[in-house]
Structure 1
Amino acid sequence: MKLGLRRILSATAAITIGLGMASCGSAKQSTGTTASGSAAGPVKIGLLLPETKTTRYEQFDRPLIEAQIKALAPDAQIDYYNANQNATTQQTQVDTALTKGNKVLILDAVDSKSIQSSVQKAHDAGVKVVAYDRLAQGPIDAYVSFDNRRVGQLQGQALVAAVGAKASSGKIIMINGSPTDPNAAQFKAGAHSAIDGKLTVGKEYDTPDWDANNANQEASAALTALGPQNVVGVYSANDSMAAGIATALKAVDLSVPLTGQDAQLDAVQRILINTQTMSIYKPYKPEADAAGTMAVFLAQGKALEATVAPTNATNGSGQVVKSNLITPVVLTKDNIKSTVVADGLYTIPQICTAAYADACKAAGLT
């Protein structure tokens, strides 16, 4: 795992160095463009994130993206917007960003379909759009995320392995993400590719807004319908929902494998005490750095080279988008120290509070 993370971070560093060299060369171009933007002033970038229920956006994505933009274009103006899981609010925020004169938008769409008209509006105004983490529809200029189908495959494989010999003695519950999120469909497809034929799905749900309360209610309903004694595992598409599911499992005194995603602090702690089996660790810094780099490239009128966008992805409206898809990492009790701790996501004292002291000691985290 360490080697894979080092490769990701090394690739990100290479992108940064490459942009720095390119920027130095652009300072003397006849157009008057500088490393910070055009002669007309600093580059103006709008950062539009989808919600606050998932802790990653405010705690990691926003500060990391802003830091990368400032590292590459110190005079850049960054306008920040959070839609609080409201697609209409996000459409209004795009309008505001265009009115403010933002020339590049980094957009993590609440609803990939409904945002298409806003993406088209930005395109018509000559504003570039970088799709962040979720691939929105419309004329997107660049996209950075993780290999989302692979995320689902890794979750499904982990669940199959954890259920093991009990597979034939019961059924699993599948609680997928929001139907308005294109990533959720990819996670779901990837998970099914690993699960189908190996585990029997008793109940399956697509959960609006990735909401933990909704997931709790879905899990409770499924446990009632199937009978707790007949459930051998639960697929949860992310850690926020896993929190609600873990509560439902505890209410019926059931301990079965449970998946997750995002390596949230509470999920790391649940993994330590065996109420969650695994999570998917998606190193936020490489993703954020790639988005910030793409935005600055586009703001400065530069082409997205292979080091910045090494592959392509096709969005729901058929556009082929230059992309950077980062490899995810499976997080288990065995590699907490070498992943989220080693990368500085959390400190051992943050993880190993009094309630988790014994589990931390057993896992070698003290």
Structure 2
Amino acid sequence: MNAHLRRAALATAAAVTAVSLAACGSAKEAGDKPEKPTAAKKGDALTIGLLLPENQTARYEKFDKPLIEQRITELTDGRGKVIYDNAKQDATLQSQQVDAMITNKVDALILDAVDSKAIAQSVRRAKEAGIPVVAFDRLAEGPIDAYTSFDNEEVGRVQGQALLDALGDRAKSGRIVMMNGSITDPNAALYKSGSHEVLDGKVRVGKEYDTKEWKPENANSNMEAAISALGKDEIIGVYSANDGMAGGIITALKAAGFDKLPPVTGQDAELAAVQRIVAGEQHSSVYKPYAGEAEAAAGMAVALARGEKVTGIAKETVDSPTTKGVPSVLVPVVPLTQGNIADTVVKDGVWTVAEICTAKYAAACARLGLK
């Protein structure tokens, strides 16, 4: 693991076990509810499968994969191994990857679903093969054994509040555009719900889109259509559910000739987004401490692979559409703006000042005191 990731892991790993997280939505206290054992008792020579959904978003390959691998190595005294694959946004391919994990007889599977509904049958096949499944980041349907993610409705509320703060007393002076995430991602619905909870009645929504596959190019096309329909003088802000789409949106805004870019939200604290925030092109993002989520996923997977309970890690439960009372860890999030870059992504070692403040952004960084 590189130094950045190691520092991030050290900075946030304790949060998973030391902080009592507030339940959200259908989450409730798990207490000491007994769980069905899913595997025979095993030692450290474990094989954990890891399936991530896509590589469009930087976080999966840069943060989640190495953080999970490192933590599993630590938990198994170096004897455990991870078998990894990425579905590249293809639900059918991911189903085949689950079958391959079953064939390889992994001891547990960490699964971030491309399509939370479509993956249910694959989860059932894994369960029938005696392989416990930890749903990672997205709440997969089917008989999952554990779940870890961020408080996703809170993510939406944080995004909505950031946009309201940026608009101030101009909140109803025009219309906003809402660029939600993919309908196949259950998190997108939670972001959408949380943002509407904050924004409804306080802004006027001119256009709203559910963006196919979270792709920046699709968000770009949607934004071009919104500008054409509403007129650029009417658009005062844009809710973007993540940073990748924010990049596509900002490209469309620039191409339309906005004299001053309206505030645009985001999520994931991607490097390009942090640089856009420094430059004043993107108003905000949401910083999600990936090390805490990875710590929880790895810990629950190793425990389940050994046939142990996860209630020592998961202090609450969440209901999926198909499974009630799933032991869960929900990690808190932080709004990211120009004012707290140094205290969040830099302090935690996610990005260095050198990485953020390249020649193009040096002057803007100097104005913000980033050094």
TM-score, scaled to structure 2:
0.89
Q: Does 1:298 align with 2:304?
A: yes
Q: Which residue among 165, 174, 177 is the counterpart of 1:173?
A: 177
> Does the CA contact (< 8 Å) of 1:213 and 1:244 recur in 2?
yes
User: 1:342, CA displacement in angstroms?
Assistant: 0.6
How far apart, CA to CA, are the structure 2 residues paired with 1:8 and 1:357?
29
Hey, what does 1:344 align to over in structure 2?
A: 349
Q: Could you report, residue by residue, the CA deviation over 1:61-104 in whole angstroms, capped at 9, with x for unpaired residues?
A: 00000000010012112110100000000000000000001121
Q: Percent identity?
A: 52
> Does the CA contact (< 8 Å) of 2:127 and 2:143 recur in 1?
yes
How far apart, CA to CA, are the structure 2 residues paired with 1:264 and 1:57?
11
User: 1:208, CA displacement in angstroms?
Assistant: 1.1
Hey, what does 2:284 align to over in structure 1?
A: 278
User: 1:186, CA displacement in angstroms?
Assistant: 0.1
Tell me, which stretches of 5 or more residues in structure 1 are unaligned?
Answer: 16-30, 37-41
Tell which has more relative contact order, 1 or 2 (C-alpha 8 A, sep 6+).
2
How far apart, CA to CA, are the structure 1 residues paired with 2:112 and 2:13?
22
More off after superposition, 61-70 vs 159-168: 159-168
Tell me, which stretches of 5 or more residues in structure 2 are unaligned?
Answer: 1-8, 20-39
Hey, what does 2:216 align to over in structure 1?
A: 212
> Does the CA contact (< 8 Å) of 1:136 and 1:316 recur in 2?
no
Residues 66-215 of structure 1: matches in 2 within 5 Å?
66-73=69-76, 74-215=78-219
User: 1:163, CA displacement in angstroms?
Assistant: 1.1
Q: Does 1:355 align with 2:336?
A: no
> Does the CA contact (< 8 Å) of 1:139 and 1:319 recur in 2?
no
How far apart, CA to CA, are the structure 2 residues paired with 1:130 and 1:155?
27
Alpha carbon RMSD of aligned pairs, Å?
A: 1.6
Residues 50-65 of structure 1: matches in 2 within 5 Å?
50-65=53-68
Instruction: Note closer, same or farther for the CA distance 1:32–1:87 as it changes in structure 2 (3 Å cut).
Output: closer
User: 1:7, CA displacement in angstroms?
Assistant: 8.9
User: 1:185, CA displacement in angstroms?
Assistant: 0.2
> Does the CA contact (< 8 Å) of 1:311 and 1:323 recur in 2?
yes
Hey, what does 1:313 align to over in structure 2?
A: 318
Q: Which amino acid aligns with 1:277?
A: H
Q: Which amino acid aligns with 2:224?
A: S
Hey, what does 2:327 align to over in structure 1?
A: 322
> Does the CA contact (< 8 Å) of 1:140 and 1:319 recur in 2?
no
> Does the CA contact (< 8 Å) of 2:41 and 2:306 recur in 1?
no
How far apart, CA to CA, are the structure 2 residues paired with 1:10 and 1:76?
22
TM-score, scaled to structure 1:
0.90
How far apart, CA to CA, are the structure 2 residues paired with 1:335 and 1:167?
24
User: 1:14, CA displacement in angstroms?
Assistant: 5.8
Q: Could you report, residue by residue, the CA deviation over 1:142-197 in whole angstroms, capped at 9, with x for unpaired residues?
A: 00000000000010011111111222221000000000000000000000000000
Hey, what does 1:45 align to over in structure 2?
A: 48
Which secondary structure does the structure 2 equivalent of 1:169 belong to?
coil
Length, aligned pairs only? 340
Hey, what does 2:336 align to over in structure 1?
A: 331
Hey, what does 1:28 align to over in structure 2?
A: none
